[in-house]
Amino acid sequence: MTLTQNPPTVRQQTGRTVGKSYQSLVVMLTVTVALLGGIGTRLAYLQLVEGQYNRQLADDNRVRLIPRPPERGRILDRKGRTLAGSRLSYAVFLWPIANRQANWRPIVKRLSTILNIPEETIQKRLDQAGYSSPELLRIARGISPAQVTALAEFSQQMPGVQVQAEAVRYYPHGDLAAHVLGYTGEMSDEDLERRRSEGYRLGDVVGQMGVEAAFERQLRGQWGGQQVEVDGMGHVLRVLGEKSARAGNTVTLTLDLDLQKAAETVLGDRKGAIVALDPRNGAVLALVSRPAFDPNLFSTHITDAQWQELQSKSYPFVNRALQGYPPASTFKIVTTTAAIESGRYSPSTVLRTRPYIEVGGIKFWDWNNAGFGPLDFRGAMAWSSDTFFYQTAMGMGHEPLIEWTRRYGFGRKTGIELAAEESAGLVPDPVWKRENLDEEWFIGDTINMSIGQGYMQASPLQVAVMFAVPANGGDLVRPHLLKDQEAARSWRTPIGLSPTTLRILQDGLRRVVSSGTGTVMNTPSLPPNAGKTGTAEDPPRKSHAWYGGYAPLDNPEIVVVAFIENSPEGGGGKVAAPMVKQVLETYFNKTQPDSQAAPQGGVVSD
């Protein structure tokens, strides 16, 4: 048997060909080793050095992050009734990585038509997120059923577009307490840049004013979501991981829903504010500002027509309860205090009132243009005699008046949680006047200030805090909206009133109701109470109307202040006092007014 066979043709080797085949084999082997080594080195580099990066690229094309925003914490009144909660709504999301940038253009155009959102707006959001982002990007909230249907019909032509249900903010009472609660909305680019380090992301919804903004940290909650694997069409293949969203905390306010409703009803469509607080601890029971707005409009997407309607109102977003106005004759509480505590006037002082006081050729008139004859401090408070307080101001000078004005909390923010929207008001003094008006302080400035006019500015909330001082026995309270279990004394600071001054204030405020300018409050429907009228001039516009009071007389539980901006119906005793009366009736009798308070005819009014 032949085990081997020679090839049919054997090439004859010569001296020139000996070793050539061996050399070729070596070269080929060297090239092969080099190639394999290069490929191996590259594979090792890609896997060991850039492995994490390349795995991320692969994951980004097959793994989708489906974020789930948390349900915002509820806002409740002091009795646990819902003031702000959540409801389900539909939102539109984009998955940027699903398409190349150029392929998004026709999709954006169609979305713009269906959602009535400018193409530029959608395109800007995509540019901000980045086209390699695997996270869903919200571009519209609160879409209508018709829009949901349209998006479903065109879903095949719009890969990377999803419609999902989500919780949005809901205010069951509409515009009730709108300025207290505020509203929510998506963050602006500037806010996002400023707060990105706090974990906020593009499209996040945050509180924009009021309690929603003040307690954003408590109400916000924590995001959750799913990490899912998808196929090339974007269909979910499996869930890789899940983190539950954590709802925000519930915030319970000091507001009383029934009292808030009553205050809003009696103020009606007038411009102004009503504040009710507990003089024992500063808890705000009601805080109303009109005109108002419906915060539900901002929970999804406000239309141009809705925005224009809001703009047609007179500054509906201004919280008038926290803005400064001349406090008028309510301020005579401070002037009485300063006059007696300065030592220039004894508690038993009697001064002759007259039609006017003339100083430097200027006549400062009493509000009735006649005067009231001889009065003591109690009588001057009851009848709100301007010329009585002019004389006390001239006698003590501006220093004690300004000092006691500041002791009562004027000229600085009250400490309420809505600090971003609160005005500090103004306590004018010689330094302020020189710096702002380049003028010296005149005796006429002191005279005007003594009746809450001139440059003096105070908010309805500050005036309510002032009334709390005689109501609670001489302490300045810090108004607050967050309900808690702290002792009442922790919210109070004595301002240094002597017992005699305190008694004169309390007696004078009671006489306002029993026989003076506030007799509309002297009614069997209320327990004995005390208060003060005020009418502030605001030329060339109509005067502002004020009334502040507290009840019951022997152990006050509530202070209510009503303010009507440029009241066309009359002064404090005629217009503002009837509002306070009805709010107090709700508090003590559990009744609800059914219409705005009517002016009281035939009332002697300051």
Report how far residue 601's alpha carbon sits from residue 598's, in angstroms, rounded to the nearest whole number.
9
| Cis status, amide bond into 291, omega within 30 of 0 | yes
Whether the CB-CB separation of 357 and 391 falls below 8 Å is answered with yes
Side by side, the strands of the sheet bearing 284-290 are 284-290, 272-277, 558-564, 541-551, 530-538
Whether the CB-CB separation of 82 and 172 falls below 8 Å is answered with yes
- Name the token pair of 277: 């607080």
Report how far residue 113's alpha carbon sits from residue 119's, in angstroms, rounded to the nearest whole number.
9
For residue 331, report the phi and psi dihedrals to the nearest 5 degrees.
-70, -10
- Name the token pair of 549: 């009071």
Whether the CB-CB separation of 378 and 507 falls below 8 Å is answered with yes
Please report, for residues 305, 367, 408, 465, 499, the alpha-carbon distance to residue 457 in angstroms, rounded to integers and kept in the order given: 36, 20, 13, 14, 28
Whether the CB-CB separation of 273 and 460 falls below 8 Å is answered with yes
Whether the CB-CB separation of 366 and 385 falls below 8 Å is answered with yes
Task: Measure CA of the first residue to CA of the last residue in the chain; give whole Å.
Answer: 140
For residue 578, report the phi and psi dihedrals to the nearest 5 degrees.
-60, -30
In this structure, how many other beta carbons lie within 10 angstroms of the beta carbon of residue 231?
Answer: 9
Give residue for tokens 């977003």: 317
Whether the CB-CB separation of 433 and 517 falls below 8 Å is answered with no
Report how far residue 52's alpha carbon sits from residue 58's, in angstroms, rounded to the nearest whole number.
10
Give residue for tokens 């003096």: 456
Report how far residue 73's alpha carbon sits from residue 581's, in angstroms, rounded to the nearest whole number.
35
Report how far residue 466's alpha carbon sits from residue 476's, in angstroms, rounded to the nearest whole number.
7
- Name the token pair of 405: 């004005």
Active-site annotation, residues: 329
Whether the CB-CB separation of 510 and 530 falls below 8 Å is answered with yes
Whether the CB-CB separation of 469 and 495 falls below 8 Å is answered with yes
